[in-house]
Structure 1
Amino acid sequence: MSLLNVVPVTVEDYRRRARLRLPGFLFDYADGGANREETLAANSNDFLKIKLRQQVMRDVSGASAATTLLGQNANMPLALAPVGLAGMYARRGEVQAARAAQAHGVPFSVSTNSICSMSEVNEAVATPAWFQLYMLRDRGYVQEILQNAWDAGTRTLIFTIDLPIPGLRLRDYQNGMLGTGLQSKVSKLLQLASSPVWAYDVGIKGKPHLLGNLAGRVPDAKDLNSYKSFVESQFDPAATWEDIRWLRDQWRSQLLIKGVLEVDDALAAVDCGAEGVVVSNHGGRQLDGVASTISKLPGIAQAVDDRAEVFLDGGVRNGIDVVRAVALGARGVLIGRPWLFALAAQGEQGVSALLQVFANEIAVALTLAGVKSVHELTPEMVENTLSIA
């Protein structure tokens, strides 16, 4: 059966459609990880080693996945993670995805490196998006970006701390995305020529292709090599926890620290005043060979306890994975590649349809596991055969 005759339902369905629609370098940018992509694979594969316990003959009428995430009501314990350049995957892609998230009652996160600015996204939805930022060398510019986010109505800041330098994502070199020579340019042109629908819908009608939150600071911001140069010049490898304490003083509302894999780092984030931490290895895009996030979650959740909310990012591919993560201590999960693939394949409609599948899977899993609420999920409700890292 032709792929186009298959109704997309799963993340893998949307991934295959996205691969057909996108230029190869854009698909690889979303799909790929660092080096040999060991951690990228482990993030998803390790979920399979966690088995839910099926409990029967319990009153599960009225089961609900509703919860709160950093004080915000959510219809399920899930938020759309920040993804850079999402506006290159569909026309004004961040706006489309934010609308889908709002329709399903879950938070949407805007990346520092988004095509659409915070203002453009928040003007399109009733509930302001969360905003993600890195520590930049220019602290005055950090303050400026924070003020812009605040003025746009955002009150939840995700601060990513696992990117002092970019990881080696070899696919981006193999497909010419980050190259400057003639061979790279020819490769990209051929890939663009093979994606005419994307070229017209996004490449032409989706302009301007600027990094909206960095407007005026990235020379020739529509050029990916200019973006790479900005990253290399502004990301700060000298940042320490003292800088996070400084950041805490700058931001007047909810702070979520993203990118911790070790207990001591999670506790340090809480000590700096963060309301939440995200157990994350950047989707396997930074240091390859580190442990999966789901293997690290139980230890961090136990150590943090009720001092802050613990989230998980990486490897979540369906509602069952969401339930597994919550049972092991997560307040909620962040998904990145799943919504980006759905966006690339079918725009806002695709993201909305995928979120509905996640919601249905969570509801069925709760009911068949014999609980009425995600808050009833505990580590005793899973059989965990993972080697705890």
Structure 2
Amino acid sequence: MKIESAINIDDVAKLARSYLPKIAYDFIDGGVDGEDGLIRNRDAFGRYRLVPRYLVDVEKRHQRATLFGHDYSSPFGICPMGIAGFFRPGADLMLARAAAAFDLPYIMSSASCDSIEAAAAAGPKTTWFQIYGTRSPHITAGLVQRARALDVKVLILTVDTPVMGKRERNIRNGFRRPMKMTPRVILQGLSRPAWTYRYLTGGGIPMMENWRPYAGKDADANAVADLYGSETPAPAQSWDVLRAVRKAWPGPLAVKGILHPDDARICLELGADGLLVSNHGGRQLDSAPAPLDMLPLIADAVGHKMEILIDSGFRRGADIAKALCLGAKAAFFGRPAMFGVAAAGEAGARKVLDIYRQELNLAMGQMGWTDVGCAGPEAIVDLSDPRLFRERPRSAPIRLERAEG
């Protein structure tokens, strides 16, 4: 199958799997511990049903959405993903260009292989930047200042990695620092010659360009990666990190990884403009709730005062529609975009964005929506315990309760 023949995200994932060695594919696809969180993220969407309204003129409909004062063509975008260049050289910039072509936000990870300067040049109106709190505050401050100098549209502070989750697939495959060329890894590489050729001719382990300035003038890719590993995660970080970033960053600021309504309120009090409700794609705490489960509670807590975004588990356009009904202004996805760019470069990334756009367009037509502003709690049904959303009328979905007898 070629990327042009892919009709859904599962097809794109299959193409990536046929191109990548197991050690690389599992890094993208895997979670932590027993990977119950991955299943929970997907199962959460099954709790809800969209309720269509018919005999509505939907011949003309659009998906335009305004996020942090900027207009985008659809209410979705690409999540930050580290070391994308390991899966295909130049992947970060391919994602930036694809997002710019579709007029969608792309959140570049500070753990990317290409630099934020290059990404901002590739997509000046659509590139956002994600950072972590580090053990050395001057590195976090430096990343903020670089984003400020580039007039990056939105800064994202990720807070859900105080310690690194136990990513068992990575451990089994030997994906760790330092990387060792075991017989198993070598055999995987031989089974995927196209990827291996690109990896070797590209110089092997890619440089983490955003971190290069902090590692010393002559630091190679291994030294830069070691610096990153020593600086993150930063278990001693506290709300002071958000205070410092807010003080240094004058533009829109969103906090990624929030799952508790009380934490959402603290973010609001400390001056954050938005939240990205997330459990890190099931890659941190395996017992954490799915972001979709917490979205209505967080929307109730701060939704009128903050921009609410969400990620984790989005595989269909209808999933995006459900999130909009439950209080999100936009949904973000990581793995599908990484699968696309790994399988077919920028063309693969564009294919993924096109699939989501077309599927959301079809869902809107069925729902009787002429624009995404039509989404709301009256358009969704919660099939779980109806008591869950009692006394939460603003974001409470319709409840189906069986009549007694």
* Same fold per superposition (TM over 0.5): yes
Partner of 1:175: 173
Report the CA distance between 1:265 and its aligned residue.
Answer: 0.8
Partner of 2:282: 284
Give me the whole-angstrom Cα distance separating, in 1, the residues matched to 2:57 and 2:208: 51
Give me the whole-angstrom Cα distance separating, in 1, the residues matched to 2:350 and 2:145: 31
Report the CA distance between 1:48 and its aligned residue.
Answer: 1.8
Preserved CA contact (<8 Å) 2:208 2:224:
no
Report the CA distance between 1:293 and its aligned residue.
Answer: 0.9
> Identity percentage over the alignment?
30
Code of the aligned partner of 1:355: L
* Residue 201 of structure 2 is aligned to residue 204 of structure 1: yes
CA deviations over 1:169-196 (Å, ceiling 9, x no partner): 01111001116596x6333222222221
Alignment of 1:61-72 (within 5 A): 61-72=59-70
Give me the whole-angstrom Cα distance separating, in 2, the residues matched to 1:5 and 1:71: 34
Partner of 2:100: 102
* Residue 188 of structure 2 is aligned to residue 191 of structure 1: yes
Change in CA separation of 1:92 and 1:207 when aligned onto 2, cut-off 3 Å: farther
Give me the whole-angstrom Cα distance separating, in 1, the residues matched to 2:104 and 2:3: 30
- The two structures have a TM-score, normalised by structure 2, of 0.89
More deviation, 249-258/61-70: 61-70
From 294, 301, 305, the counterpart of 1:303: 301
Change in CA separation of 1:144 and 1:229 when aligned onto 2, cut-off 3 Å: closer
Give me the whole-angstrom Cα distance separating, in 2, the residues matched to 1:107 and 1:60: 26
Code of the aligned partner of 1:222: A
Code of the aligned partner of 1:215: R
Report the CA distance between 1:332 and its aligned residue.
Answer: 0.4
Give me the whole-angstrom Cα distance separating, in 2, the residues matched to 1:367 and 1:349: 27
Partner of 1:131: 129
CA deviations over 1:328-360 (Å, ceiling 9, x no partner): 100101110010001111111111122112111
- The two structures have a TM-score, normalised by structure 1, of 0.93
Gaps of 5+ in 1: none
Report the CA distance between 1:106 and its aligned residue.
Answer: 0.4
Preserved CA contact (<8 Å) 1:211 1:221:
no
Secondary structure of 2:297's aligned partner: helix
User: What is the RMSD computed on CA atoms of the aligned residues?
Assistant: 2.2
More deviation, 364-373/196-205: 196-205
Give me the whole-angstrom Cα distance separating, in 2, the residues matched to 1:302 and 1:331: 14
Gaps of 5+ in 2: 390-405
From 312, 315, 319, the counterpart of 2:313: 315
Change in CA separation of 1:76 and 1:85 when aligned onto 2, cut-off 3 Å: same
Partner of 1:238: 236
Report the CA distance between 1:128 and its aligned residue.
Answer: 5.0
Partner of 2:398: none
Partner of 2:153: 155
Alignment of 1:233-382 (within 5 A): 233-382=231-380
Secondary structure of 1:312's aligned partner: strand
Report the CA distance between 1:55 and its aligned residue.
Answer: 0.9
Give me the whole-angstrom Cα distance separating, in 1, the residues matched to 2:131 and 2:261: 22
Code of the aligned partner of 2:221: K
Code of the aligned partner of 2:136: D
Give me the whole-angstrom Cα distance separating, in 2, the residues matched to 1:380 and 1:328: 10
Report the CA distance between 1:135 and its aligned residue.
Answer: 0.3
